[in-house]
Amino acid sequence: MTTTALAPLLETSRELITSLQDPGGAYPASPTFSAYRGYCWFRDGAFIADGVSSAGEVTSPSAFLDWCAGVVESHRTPIERVVAAAAAGEPVPQEQMLPTRFTMAGGPGADEWWDFQLDGYGTWLWAAAEHAARHGVDISRWRTAGELTVDYLLSSWQRPCYDWWEEHAEQVHVSTLGCIVAGLRAAAGSGLVTGTRADAAHAGAEAAMDVITSRGVAHGHVTKWLGTDAVDASLAALVGPLGVIEPASELAAATITAIEEQLCTDGGVYRFRADTFYGGGRWPLLSCFLGLAHARTGNSARAGELLDWAARTATTDGLLPEQVDGHLLAPHYRSEWIDRWGPVATPLLWSHAMVLRLAAELKEENA
């Protein structure tokens, strides 16, 4: 797909994300999908903010990051409780950790969810540093929240929690550790946190990275969680855009190869081989993450192919779904999810953001 042919989708994506953003700064995961409507995830939102920031938006991602900061600061008391309990060797139970998703107003919401996830608290720090550097935004506006978030992550990064997909709370997930490494490195390197806290963030990031490389690698590639040899498409994010794994390394090459061989069909990327959600389809946003990993390693041709596939999943109205039908891993599960939550989330703002992000990456490389 040429740049000219892609332009309408990029414009639609940019307009959709900014127009659906709540006045308070939060990005709804999807405006219509029953299980997501009215909620904002720190993880998804951070990648959405990074996507529109890479497309040239300044006000919208800044507003989202302001929202994140406000939510974190409003949770000062529970954060301090978590940190103190961890320091005393008596960690609080999972249900007392911070939620992974919030209402547009920044509250926890009334619906039950698989809530304890640490990845989003790393990704919002990373997105803040990326946005500030890209557009010359004064990162100190988020310092108080950054300090609280760093303290929270340093106290708890070794704990098992749910992964990107709200699954397997009993495991320590490598993609979660990667998000934490990226966030701690970004907070310290950008000046979001300073002094002894920055030193601690650097040390914590390296300790988490040591766990990844010593316990989260099998057959030369990083793994879905510690102690398995399975792969997960979220691992591509550790190469690009998070940059946790050096793109020129053998670890990056082996990880990309494993995802390509085990999770990619005709340009579409599955989450993991055992996926049954909506029958286990391929996700446009994951094709873009894999494309970003390829772009970081210098394979812009393959990155372009993956972007083309993701773009072709758009509806005639230019809306990108969460996942697509066809080549399903577990087709007999599809109707069960449709009966439970309705059709696949369309649009999914995260999908639109990742198309923007990969397109911006390739534009920079080809400039």
The alpha carbons of the chain give a radius of gyration, in whole angstroms, of 19
Q: What are phi and psi of 324, to 5 degrees?
A: -120, 155
The whole-angstrom separation of Cα 190 and Cα 185 is: 8
- Classify residue 217 as exposed, middle or buried by CB count within 10 Å of its CB (0-12, 13-18, 19+): middle
Check if 138 is active-site: no
Catalytic residue among 166, 260, 305, 336: 166
Pairing mode, if any, of strands 101-103 and 282-283? unpaired
Residue type, 311: A
Kindly list the strands in the beta sheet with 264-265, ordered across the sheet, starting from the edge strand earlier in the chain.
264-265, 268-270, 282-283
Residue type, 225: W
The whole-angstrom separation of Cα 326 and Cα 57 is: 34
Check if 66 is active-site: no
Number of residues that this document lists for the chain: 367
Catalytic residue among 50, 119, 163, 232: 163
- Classify residue 89 as exposed, middle or buried by CB count within 10 Å of its CB (0-12, 13-18, 19+): exposed
The whole-angstrom separation of Cα 266 and Cα 299 is: 17
> According to the 3-state scheme, what is the secondary structure of 188-248?
HHHCCCCHHHHHHHHHHHHHHHHHHHHHCEECCEECCECCCCCCCHHHHHHCCCCCCCCCC
The whole-angstrom separation of Cα 193 and Cα 183 is: 11
Element (H, E) at 353: helix 349-366
Give me the helices (H) in 21-172, please: 42-54, 59-74, 76-87, 119-135, 143-156
Check if 90 is active-site: no
From 253, 280, 249, 251, select the one nearest 265 (Cα to Cα).
280
The whole-angstrom separation of Cα 201 and Cα 192 is: 11
Residues serving a catalytic function are 163, 166, 322
